[in-house]
Chains A and B, each alone.
Chain A
């Protein structure tokens, strides 16, 4: 804070110091926990929570969902590079909180598109459509959906 002549007011200095220290620590704590929450998390954990959040109304077999998340990580068509910490952080955040709650998020459309691709891949990898899309039955993972490994799989036929 400055005096009327533009010089710093020595009276205020200690108070300012304390407040800055407090705000700084709070910021660091917040950033640290958010960082831990996001970066410390594996992509596969985020994939799991993304699918579970989006399909909350279905009963998903947990072991199958784990297996799907592992297989999705190895899919070259899905962008889950190991070294992209910022992206991983956003994805982790997004996998728990729906994107519509972040109207100004720059990557909003890309994340929503990625969500649709991942969730669709999951459903196509399960027995959901084989069971007549019955939403009351547990959904079980069969094999990762890849038309080049398992062609002719199509619930629209």
Chain B
């Protein structure tokens, strides 16, 4: 008999949402082992130290492309500690890029398959969002919380784009929830001083306190063991000692760099494993306004724009997702202190085989990450930023603009274990099971066949619930 029914690697969104669904159907005698490589740096610890983690994430991999960063957080709760909590859904067309626009790949599932799981994930995180976005994102139930307040410039953008500009759906609570106060606009969301954004610690700790669950922190999964095409367990390192545990089901939720690395280190050799690493590219824009005060917005990111998102242009250049921000940034000029706003325009990426994570036997503990090629699909959209801004800001009294350089990361790690129905052209099946290994599940945005310009976390969380349903029945 195996030591455990389930071994789960990681304690971020993907693992925690899978665990939630698992515990709902698991019997009282079920045994779950959770391996988390980092420490449990509590919210109090983080506020005291003014950082999200006691582990420096950049020391956990080798980056072969100096111009490209990969940002994430190690430790209990993973990226939930540092995320800014933007939680929009993908659009229905995001799931069918190839059949609609002839680029990228279709997902093996559609928006309607995922919709009930989106709803559940939104309820778990008490997402605040706008119910007037039904035409873009059909919903079966209203958002759990009402939307945040627009700023004054947002209100003008809404007038100009009534069907494509909305309040950002977010896990920064609009009102207090059980365990979280409402967001009060401190504008330092990477580490919320009042703990108003959803984190695994404030929203899912009870899962790890369940008597069926054994959580080991500072326990790093090294490899997935297999026997006869079946996953039999995991080897892991704790206190400098390599140990092993067997299980009937193995689930990886360690993010798209580490999941692929663990599998490659274990000897998995699918030609696409580790390939198509990608993430969005974004550009920040500072807008100085003439006579219009940027006040009234009730949280950091208030608006999201879809005016440059779907449409025929997507056949040749990347879709754009617009966010309006309320950085605490004063204009140091007489009488114009608050006449300034910020925008971020994010563009989707295409997963290219050249960009990848690999395993180097000489440095077995460190994924080697290469992102050497940028797709012309994205570059064509970047060139059009001035045109987009003209159209976007036509309704606002713009005095001047400062357009930043494309960011070196968007803190979203996508690709490396793409999902699909065909085992030749995908690593995982539609329920995120490794093709040919029926009891090995690989969660997270590594599975996304296309990036979309939208932040990934709500979708990867919904996908973890969908996967649990598919695997556990």
Contact = CB atoms under 8 A, between A and B. Distances in A.
B334 A155 contact: no
A76 interface: yes
B121 to A, nearest CB: 27
B205 interface: no
A157 B297 contact: yes
B332 interface: yes
A57 B337 CA distance: 13
A147 B186 contact: yes
A33 interface: no
Contacts of B326: 156
A48 B326 CA distance: 28
Contacts of A57: 334
Nearest to B335: A135
B380 interface: no
Per DSSP, chain B at the interface is loop
B47 A147 contact: no
A139 interface: no
Interface string A60-78: 0000000000000000110
Contact of B186 (A129, A133, A154): A154
Contacts of B332: 54-55, 116, 119-120
Interface in B169-193: 184-188, 193
B373 interface: no
A148 B47 contact: yes
Interface string A131-157: 001010000000000011001111111
Given A57-B334, A120-B330, A147 B298 contact: no
Contacts of A133: 335, 337-338
A147 B298 CA distance: 16
Interface in A4-37: none
A54 B330 CA distance: 13
Nearest to B299: A157
B296 interface: yes
A120 B337 CA distance: 10
Nearest to A152: B184
A156 B186 contact: no
Determine which residue in B151, B332, B338 has the highest number of CB atoms from chain A within 10 A of its CB, and name it: B332
B193 A147 contact: yes
A154 B329 CA distance: 10
A154 B330 CA distance: 11
A124 interface: yes
A123 interface: yes
A157 B193 contact: no
Contact of A152 (B186, B294, B330, B338): B186
Contacts of B330: 120, 123-124, 155
A124 B332 CA distance: 12
Interface in B43-73: 47, 50
14 contacts: A55-B332, A123-B337, A133-B338, A135-B335, A147-B186, A147-B187, A151-B184, A151-B186, A151-B193, A152-B184, A152-B194, A156-B151, A156-B187, A157-B185
Given A54-B332, A151-B184, 4 more contacts: A76-B50, A135-B335, A148-B188, A156-B338
Interface of B: 47, 50, 151, 184-188, 193-194, 294-298, 326, 328-330, 332, 334-335, 337-338
